[in-house]
Amino acid sequence: MRALVQYCVNLKGLCVGAVTQVRTIGMVFLHAARKRQTLLYPEEKPDLAPRYRGRPVLTRDPNGVERCVGCGLCAVVCPVDCIALQQEERESGQWFAKFFRLNMSRCVFCGLCEEACPTSAIQLTPDFELGEYRREDLVLEKEDLLISGTGKDHSYSFRTHIGRASAEFGAQWAEGDDAPQSPVDTRSLLP
Amino acid sequence: MASIHIDGKTYEVDGAGNLLEACLSLGLDIPYFCWHPALGSVGSCRQCAVKLHKDESDKRGMLVMACMTDAKAALRHGPEHKAWISIEDEDATAFRKQVAEWLMANHPHDCPVCSEGGQCQLQDMIMMTGHGQRAYRFGKRYYTSQNLGPFVAHEMNRCIGCYRCVRYYQDYAGGTDLGVFGSRDRLFFGRETDGVLESEFAGNLTEICPTGVFTDKAYEGQFTRKWDLRYGPGICQGCAVGCAISAGERYGTLRRVENRYNSTINGYFLCDRGRFGTGYVNRKDRPRKIYAAHGSEWHSLQERNGSEAVLADLSTKLAEKIAAERVIAIGSPRASLENNHALERLVGEEHFSSGVPEEELKRLRFMARMLQVAPLPSPTIEEVEQSDAVIIFGEDLTQTAARMALAVRQAARQREVALAQERGVAAWQARAVSGIGQGAKNPVMIASPAATRLDDVALHTAHVSPSNLVALAQRLAQVLVAVGSSKSDAAEAVLSDLEEDEPWVACAVRVLLKAERPVLISGEAMMSLPLLEAVAACAAALHQQGKQQGRLALLPREANGMGVAMMGRMSLDAAWKRVQRGEVDALLVLENDLTRAFSPVQLKQGLAQLEVCIVADHQFTSFAQQADLVLPTASFAEEDGSYVNYEGRVQRSYAVFDPTAMAGEDEIRPFYKWAADIRARQADMPQGCDTACDEEALYNELVVDHPIFAAGRGLSKQCYAPVAGERLARQSPRASGRTAERANLSVWDKGYHQKSGSGLSATMEGYSGTEGGAVHPFAWQPGWNSPQAWIAYQTTPGGPLKGGELGVRLFAKRPKNVLLCGCDEDELLKDSLSEGGVAGSVDHAAFADKDEGEGLEVVPLYHLFGSEELSARSPLFAQRCESPYVLLNEQEAHERFGDDLAEGASLCLSCGTQSLILPCRFSETLGRGQVGLPVGLGGVPRFWGRQRVSLERVAAPLCEEGRP
């Protein structure tokens, strides 16, 4: 009895195997007639998701002011230490990056800088064409990185949320609708 | 010892201080704001709540503020001197989180644009409490912040109302112009109106403030996060106190100076000169390459073949001149021992001068000698803080040795602590102490020519001319001896007789006799050796009275004045005489601006005799501009070097950065490397021999020639990592940008140069724990990014470092057999130390006669900002430095020049062939027959001090500082 069962199982396996092989061969031949998945790059460009992690850029806020305040959080979070920058302060008290250097020959496109950025300034874009003929050209400075648009984040403006109190933007310390309209009167002793 | 049970674990504690201190020193994290090791507890922020249980079985317990709970009381609370407390308790944790949320309600979301971010106690404490999400979503109050001058930035919106700033500024530092205004949640910490903070210690607000209300403006101009700074454990170059600093660099420029905690000298605080006066390191006009003046023979050589050829030529020429003994080398009291010694070895000891004028050198040697033989030892700053009476002769301490002035303020405040302790109240109970003390002060007595910044804590001030000052000190010694040897009734009779004629002396004698730990302070300010001798005589008299706890502090002027005096060798005047006589062809000057020591005529006479004048300096001083050749040397931030402070403590300052790392073109090198290079060329040795440039080897070479420094050997052992094969990290573990910071120069990464034989690593790689020696490049521990991290390095909060004392005192054992080279101090001291000499030599009348001499006596005045040569070159100081002036007694000025003489009118000082035209100012305290002149300020040469001058009114409007 046991031998009979064994025989049937083996026979079933044999049949299934044969059918699978035939099906696979069939699929291969079917694909030969299908539309191509690969692209004829560089003539054709791929359609990448906005969240694709390619070339980093520095963006501007909706008012067209550069978003980067030079806080250094992207540099500190970078696992390959490929960002070096220097903060500077404008007359108005606003911070901005005096220089912002990104060594693309070191970048691993991990996107941690984007995640750490409190102002949405640095963003990774779907551009992956980063090849250069000279290694030196892989070192990007602020002029190379700064774009004129807002990038993926269209509305956020750190500076109007929270800036150093400045003539340009007014004292924007207070958030929300019930924000006090004037600074604290420090000479008042009223309860 | 008693045991304390914290969250189920048992710890042994000594029961001193409060619970917060006990927990922190056990390494347990409790958040706090209003408590500070130097300020004590007030219990106002409610952040450090812990639960105190009666015993093991008490499950309920009660919430207490750890900073306000006496550890002893807590131990008594439970049976058998045991205490059960819980930090992790649910209620306590929830309470602390709640308090953190209240404090944060109005705190702005501006950490990315706040220069405190990354070194912020508020950030640390908020992480510690676990308050991550804010429920408060309503409008926040906002303030108009103030402009507090060039050093301290003010951003009131970040305030959490802990009161530490006013407690430090008013109570600790004695400032009057920063206070708290408003009521309820509208508290405002600032000045009444915008304006420069008056206190010379205002910079400490940046470290005292737990958040970003007060931040360092000098740093903000060139801000970089704390985690990105490369730190070097340095020694401040501002004065002879020698405070320990942590200087930080980024991208090849010095960014910031922070306090480096040590209990013996600076504790938690620096003065503003030390904190903000290092801008000269970053000056664009520093000599960065070998510079050969136009017209000199080196210039064409350099044009043709570059610096290398100049150096080769220099080496051969110098060798010839040295062989012919026609060279003089002038060292400097602002250069390190190693650099001075390298110069000495280069030219031979007979041709080396310490670079200090004759008279000053005598005084310095006297001070150095006093460290060895004076009856009373020199106090550390900590000892000054703990003293119960201070007498200051001639120094305006706040301007000449500011950190000591802050210590004197603490000495005065110690009276309140003593009164509280008599009533069983501990010193850390800050409010209770001031309530009991009611402003009582330990006596501080000041005798000086004019008002000083310490007058507000002084019991009695005497404004006397410098020569009368000597008489006063001598008189004090005399009376002390007389009173000491007589019976108490007779002594009282003597003193009451004195009351009327010499109230200051009588008061000082009473104070000294009553005190247990009196400190006498004098120094270089009055440029008077007799004064130092007289003060030493007072110390001798005190010793005779059995005041062995007494201390005598004599303060040199510059960072390494004591060091070069101990090296001996000839004075600057002796050297210059040889130059003027034409005995010399080549002059080599190390980091010394001779225009401050000699008149232009003298300089010209000397320089005319020379074939070549070589200056090695890190600044283009007015003297370097007259040199044929300038060798660019390293400033303190770029080289290792040892300095001897006023108490004979050798301390080593370590390089912060390599000036060639970011700009490969620079030729800046420590002078000892230049000297080694020149010597190597002369001996045809292989060039660039780095072997002799390890700091310990250099020091050992120094000790061979100057055994007086022997105690300082092995100083580098204070700077080591307690892990085999590791060095001390000089960057935080999270330093950023190492593959990008130099990428604009070269895309190929180059590691930072690691110096061989050093205990310090140039980068983040290495040990950054709290063990090891006394030297720690910076304070950082996991969870503790702010300067409060120093607590982890201390044995007890605010106590000594785990690694021991910084530096080594050369005369801790006071050996009697080491003699200073070539100095007849024993002769010098004979009069002042034998009591008979003192008693017999005082003659009041003699000094009175001398006062009647011709002309007016110049009283040297000092300013914290401007009098010191290097810090005055810091661009930031330009806003705080005053321009030179002459100070006159107001009445006398009007008598001499008529009533229409107003402040600011030009007066001409002349002495011999010299003259100066300066605007005048009036003083109520300066005596008649004197003119105050701020030496050093704006380049007023020091030789004017203590001259007798005639004064004329000039019609001409204020012109630039006159040179004949």
Q: Find the domain containing A103 and state its range.
A: 56-161
Q: Are A77 and B737 in contact, with CB atoms under 8 Å apart? A: no
Residues A3 and A67 placed together within one structural domain of the fold: no
Contacts of B155 in chain A (CB under 8 A): 164
Selecting from A89, A119, A183 the residue whose C-beta is nearest the C-beta of B142 gives: A183
* A90-136 tens-digit pLDDT: 887 788 999 999 999 999 999 999 999 999 999 999 999 999 999 99
Selecting from B113, B744, B748 the residue whose C-beta is nearest the C-beta of A69 gives: B113
Q: How many helices (H) and strands (E) does chain B have?
A: 29, 32
Q: What is the CATH number of the domain that holds A69?
A: 3.30.70.3270
Asked if A107 reaches chain B (Cβ–Cβ under 8 Å), the answer is no
Which of A82, A186, A190 to probe the B interface (max B CBs under 10 A)?
A: A186
Q: Which residues of B322-333 are buried (b: 16+ CB within 10 A; e: fewer)?
A: beeebbbbbbbb
End-to-end CA separation in angstroms for chain A: 99
Contacts of A105 in chain B (CB under 8 A): 747
Per-residue model confidence (pLDDT) at position B691: 47
**A185 in a domain, yes or no?**
no
3-state secondary structure of B245: strand
Share of chain A above pLDDT 70, in %: 89
Which neighbouring-strand residues pair with B292?
A: B629
Which helix (H) or strand (E) segment holds residue B695: the answer is: helix B695-705
CB distance B228–A135 less than 8 Å?
A: no
Residues A21 and A91 placed together within one structural domain of the fold: no
Residues A20 and A94 placed together within one structural domain of the fold: no
DSSP structure string for B543-603: HHTT-TT-EEEEE-SSTTHHHHHHH--B-HHHHHHHHHTT--SEEEEES--GGGTS-HHHH
Per-residue model confidence (pLDDT) at position B748: 87
Q: What is the signed CA dihedral for B279, B280, B284, B286, rounded to 10 degrees? A: -160
Per-residue model confidence (pLDDT) at position B623: 92
Chain B (699-738) residues lying within 8 Å, Cβ to Cβ, of chain A? 734, 736-738
SS3 content of chain A, % helix, strand, coil (to 5): 30, 15, 55
Q: Is the sign of the CA dihedral B651, B657, B660, B663 positive or negative?
A: negative
Q: Residue B99 phi/psi, 5° resolution?
A: -65, -40
CB distance A76–B182 less than 8 Å?
A: no
Residue recorded with tokens 């007494």: B550
The conformation of residue B168, written as its DSSP 8-state character, comes to: I
Selecting from B141, B184, B747 the residue whose C-beta is nearest the C-beta of A136 gives: B747
Q: What is the count of structural domains for chain A?
A: 2
Asked if B192 reaches chain A (Cβ–Cβ under 8 Å), the answer is no
**Mind telling me how many Å the CA of A92 is from chain B's nearest CA?**
13
Pairing of strands B948-953, B856-861: antiparallel
End-to-end CA separation in angstroms for chain B: 73
Residues A75 and A148 placed together within one structural domain of the fold: yes
DSSP structure string for B94-122: HHHHHHHHHHHTT--S-GGG-TTTTS-HH
Alpha-helix runs per DSSP H in A130-177: 142-145, 158-161
Selecting from A139, A164, A191 the residue whose C-beta is nearest the C-beta of B743 gives: A139
CB distance B144–A191 less than 8 Å?
A: no
CB distance B142–A174 less than 8 Å?
A: yes
pTM of the model: 0.91
**Identity (one letter) of the amino acid at A11?**
L
C-alpha closest to that of B669 among B764, B755, B765, B778: B755
Cα nearest neighbour of A136 on chain B: B747
Which helix (H) or strand (E) segment holds residue A96: the answer is: strand A95-103
Number of neighbouring beta carbons within 10 Å of residue B221: 15
Structural tokens at position B766: 């290495």
The conformation of residue B767, written as its DSSP 8-state character, comes to: B
Counted residue by residue, chain A has a size of 191
CB distance A139–B139 less than 8 Å?
A: no
The conformation of residue B170, written as its DSSP 8-state character, comes to: I
Q: Is the sign of the CA dihedral B493, B499, B503, B507 positive or negative?
A: positive
Residues A27 and A85 placed together within one structural domain of the fold: no
Per-residue model confidence (pLDDT) at position B843: 36
Residues A65 and A12 placed together within one structural domain of the fold: no
C-alpha closest to that of B350 among B314, B369, B318, B322: B322
Cα nearest neighbour of A135 on chain B: B747
Per-residue model confidence (pLDDT) at position A161: 66
Distances (CA, A) of B290 to B303, B321, B442, B590, B669: 11, 21, 55, 14, 10
Question: What is the C-alpha to C-alpha distance for residues A51 and A111, in angstroms, rounded to an integer?
Answer: 10
Per-residue model confidence (pLDDT) at position B124: 95
Q: Are B450 and B925 in contact, with CB atoms under 8 Å apart? A: yes
**A190 in a domain, yes or no?**
no
Asked if B691 reaches chain A (Cβ–Cβ under 8 Å), the answer is no
Residue recorded with tokens 């009856």: B375
Question: What is the C-alpha to C-alpha distance for residues B181 and B689, in angstroms, rounded to an integer?
Answer: 63
C-alpha closest to that of B777 among B817, B820, B721: B721
Asked if A171 reaches chain B (Cβ–Cβ under 8 Å), the answer is yes
Question: What is the C-alpha to C-alpha distance for residues B624 and B606, in angstroms, rounded to an integer?
Answer: 15
**Identity (one letter) of the amino acid at B9?**
K
Asked if B251 reaches chain A (Cβ–Cβ under 8 Å), the answer is yes
3-state secondary structure of B253: strand
CB distance B739–A184 less than 8 Å?
A: no
Cα nearest neighbour of B223 on chain A: A87
Which helix (H) or strand (E) segment holds residue B259: the answer is: strand B253-259
Question: What is the C-alpha to C-alpha distance for residues B594 and B351, in angstroms, rounded to an integer?
Answer: 17
Question: What is the C-alpha to C-alpha distance for residues B160 and B45, in angstroms, rounded to an integer?
Answer: 9
Residue recorded with tokens 């003259």: B915
CB distance B223–A89 less than 8 Å?
A: yes
Contacts of A191 in chain B (CB under 8 A): 183-184
Number of neighbouring beta carbons within 10 Å of residue B312: 16
Which neighbouring-strand residues pair with B753?
A: none
Asked if B350 reaches chain A (Cβ–Cβ under 8 Å), the answer is no
**Mind telling me how many Å the CA of A59 is from chain B's nearest CA?**
17
Which helix (H) or strand (E) segment holds residue B948: the answer is: strand B948-953
Contacts of A141 in chain B (CB under 8 A): 744
**Mind telling me how many Å the CA of A48 is from chain B's nearest CA?**
29
Contacts of B226 in chain A (CB under 8 A): none
Asked if A108 reaches chain B (Cβ–Cβ under 8 Å), the answer is no
The conformation of residue B169, written as its DSSP 8-state character, comes to: I
Structural tokens at position B507: 């008061």
Question: What is the C-alpha to C-alpha distance for residues A111 and A118, in angstroms, rounded to an integer?
Answer: 14
Residues A66 and A117 placed together within one structural domain of the fold: yes
**A13 in a domain, yes or no?**
yes
CB distance B224–A191 less than 8 Å?
A: no
Cα angle B486, B489, B493 (rounded to 5 degrees) comes to: 90
Contacts of B136 in chain A (CB under 8 A): none
Contacts of B108 in chain A (CB under 8 A): 162, 173
- Domains of chain B in sequence order: 2-100 (3.10.20.740), 105-221 (3.30.70.20), 284-354+569-633+669-684 (3.40.50.740), 361-561 (3.40.228.10), 851-953 (2.40.40.20)
Structural tokens at position B557: 């002027």
Residues A63 and A153 placed together within one structural domain of the fold: yes
Asked if A174 reaches chain B (Cβ–Cβ under 8 Å), the answer is yes
Distances (CA, A) of B716 to B115, B380, B698, B722, B773: 34, 21, 11, 13, 9
Asked if A105 reaches chain B (Cβ–Cβ under 8 Å), the answer is yes
Question: What is the C-alpha to C-alpha distance for residues B955 and B908, in angstroms, rounded to an integer?
Answer: 10
CB distance B736–A83 less than 8 Å?
A: yes
Is the preceding peptide bond at B556 cis, omega within 30 degrees of 0?
no
Asked if A130 reaches chain B (Cβ–Cβ under 8 Å), the answer is no
| Count of A-B CB contacts under 8 Å | 144
The conformation of residue A137, written as its DSSP 8-state character, comes to: G
**A170 in a domain, yes or no?**
no
Radius of gyration of chain B (CA): 29
Which helix (H) or strand (E) segment holds residue B808: the answer is: strand B808-809
Per-residue model confidence (pLDDT) at position B831: 40
Asked if B558 reaches chain A (Cβ–Cβ under 8 Å), the answer is no
Question: What is the C-alpha to C-alpha distance for residues B76 and B281, in angstroms, rounded to an integer?
Answer: 56
Which of A113, A141, A173 to probe the B interface (max B CBs under 10 A)?
A: A173
Selecting from B140, B225, B743 the residue whose C-beta is nearest the C-beta of A72 gives: B225
Residues A25 and A70 placed together within one structural domain of the fold: no
Asked if B182 reaches chain A (Cβ–Cβ under 8 Å), the answer is yes
3-state secondary structure of B215: strand
Residues A106 and A153 placed together within one structural domain of the fold: yes
Task: Give every residue of chain B whose pLDDT is below 70, as ranges.
Answer: 1, 77-80, 664, 684-693, 814-853, 956-964
Is the preceding peptide bond at A56 cis, omega within 30 degrees of 0?
no
Which neighbouring-strand residues pair with B731?
A: B230
**A176 in a domain, yes or no?**
no
Q: Are B568 and B331 in contact, with CB atoms under 8 Å apart? A: no
Residues A5 and A72 placed together within one structural domain of the fold: no
Structural tokens at position B180: 């708290």
CB distance A69–B223 less than 8 Å?
A: no
Contacts of B218 (CB under 8 A, 6+ apart): B150, B151, B256, B275, B276, B279, B876
Q: Are B690 and B669 in contact, with CB atoms under 8 Å apart? A: no
Chain A (1-40) residues lying within 8 Å, Cβ to Cβ, of chain B? none
CB distance A101–B183 less than 8 Å?
A: no
Q: Which residues of B672-697 are buried (b: 16+ CB within 10 A; e: fewer)?
A: bbbbbbbbbbbeeeeeeeeeebbbbe
Asked if A132 reaches chain B (Cβ–Cβ under 8 Å), the answer is no
**Identity (one letter) of the amino acid at A51?**
R
Asked if B136 reaches chain A (Cβ–Cβ under 8 Å), the answer is no
Contacts of B110 in chain A (CB under 8 A): 162-164
Cα angle B318, B321, B322 (rounded to 5 degrees) comes to: 85
Cα nearest neighbour of A79 on chain B: B736
**A125 in a domain, yes or no?**
yes
CB distance A84–B117 less than 8 Å?
A: no
**A171 in a domain, yes or no?**
no
Which neighbouring-strand residues pair with B776?
A: none
DSSP structure string for B278-334: TGGGG-TTS--S-EE-TTSHHHHHHHHHHHHHHHHHHHHHHHHHHHTT-EEEE--TT
Contacts of A80 in chain B (CB under 8 A): 739
Question: What is the C-alpha to C-alpha distance for residues B529 and B158, in angstroms, rounded to an integer?
Answer: 52
**Identity (one letter) of the amino acid at A58?**
L
Residues A97 and A143 placed together within one structural domain of the fold: yes
Q: Are B542 and B550 in contact, with CB atoms under 8 Å apart? A: yes
Cα nearest neighbour of A81 on chain B: B737
Selecting from A72, A119, A162 the residue whose C-beta is nearest the C-beta of B736 gives: A72
The conformation of residue B628, written as its DSSP 8-state character, comes to: S
Cα nearest neighbour of B733 on chain A: A76
